[in-house]
Structure 1
């Protein structure tokens, strides 16, 4: 199963690489001086130097725990023997997209709750031909809130993003994403609002609660948001890392036992190491952690490397840094650090 997961990784990375474009065969890696904006050029590793299969494990460790549900923050988690739902997260996020030499950094705050909003709709005035705003009334909805505070990036002001829905299952999948235009099209969306400084966009959708007597109604413009390179980078980079099939291999691994594994299949080579680490406290709870490091190379010169600090109790990394480079030499750099976590008893 583990080899199958890593073979899937090879295919997925190759498919992702085809979307990145560009030229060259160099590898972009974070510099060791801690400055994310600096990069060094190194040669692509030869796949023949990677051993076909190695594995070492501590025979004395009897405790076992795996990363059972990578990136699934919609399901309850168990902390200190009690079941909780994740209702809020805050993390630092850095990204460099393939067409840029600069790293952009944001503080991302997310929360979800139940609330009540005033819903409006549009009604066509047959005489004037204009769509007029009509107040429908208050409705109970699930609120998904995002705040992007730029440390560096094209947005000067913080960006706030609200999604109100009658169907949380259609939105939960994207809850951790720093930004996602997909939410505007999710089933059950009742209203959305995006605002930054004096720019805003509001979308009311009565059919989201089964009211087809009125048309959807919008105010403001969304062009400044949907045409943003930052928004595109935030969404695509997060999609690349969350769909990285390597995480599936950790669902079978014991995070409490140090070990290394390497595979080489059809020109695809992978190496990773799991090292039990220390304990980390986040928002009044303490989590036992393990450090995971990986490298991979694919035919044509594509390669990547990275590391993550993860806990078997949490579905998202506490820290993560990596590069994902295409055979053409272009790639994503991203870094994530979990700062706060809001839990509610399930």
Structure 2
């Protein structure tokens, strides 16, 4: 099966490595903002969809557990939400930041975490990322997403609607855990798809490695860099929730964060395993290239050896001496040609007996 890879994608290299923490990147204002609200308790649930940020303000202190999911970021909207829900200014800056490293912060009245949702682009064979910020407060969770067209929370939305589900019976801290768990679980989906590409590429290299195989290996190694950069810091982020003594987290919820921690450690180990596979694959490619070159050199050497007797015989009979044996013999030509054929045939037999080819 022939793979299709974007070969020599130097632009992708710039996207991955162009990070300068001393320069504050400018975030583009979202053209559209979509707000989805789930307001629920153990007995009932209400779902709302708003276009204006002010419409979700009255969920602040209504006694229920509220999840406010904001798709599309505008500075004015984020500032208004943070002001209404008493979210610290430093958290506001992190929400509006671009290219942040996954992190977890704990303020007086809220807990904040930032990480990336990952998606696999089947067309370009690339790992795409979307920054998501989650704020946990008393009886509410607010999530900020960049892209309104996709996320990984559909299964969570369905679970909230089930009356006797764990989500409905628990508080905002369990809801926060569920959001993080969904994001981390999706890492494995992305890694599985990337693993399929690695296996196919390995098979291709073993069967018919060509000049572009090394470029394909390099392309996949870039995507593993994206994976590692997004997965590895999440371990410290989740560990921050486990070690926290905030009143926003119930003691029984800690064991769920420990489960997420186990998953992210496993994901980080898998990324390292994939990285080792790519290094081994590169060595395999180089070894196959060397073996192919050795085969070519062996064939050329054998051909040269087989032609050597004919060259010597032809050179001897081509010398400008008056007296050369069989020079004027009536069968001299046939004797010379016979020697040119018999000696190489004898050489081939000797080479095969010694296992040289």
TM-score in terms of structure 2 length: 0.20
Higher relative contact order (CA 8 A, sep 6+): 1
Name whichever structure is richer in strand by fraction.
1
Name whichever structure is richer in helix by fraction.
2
Structure with larger Rg = 2
TM-score in terms of structure 1 length: 0.21
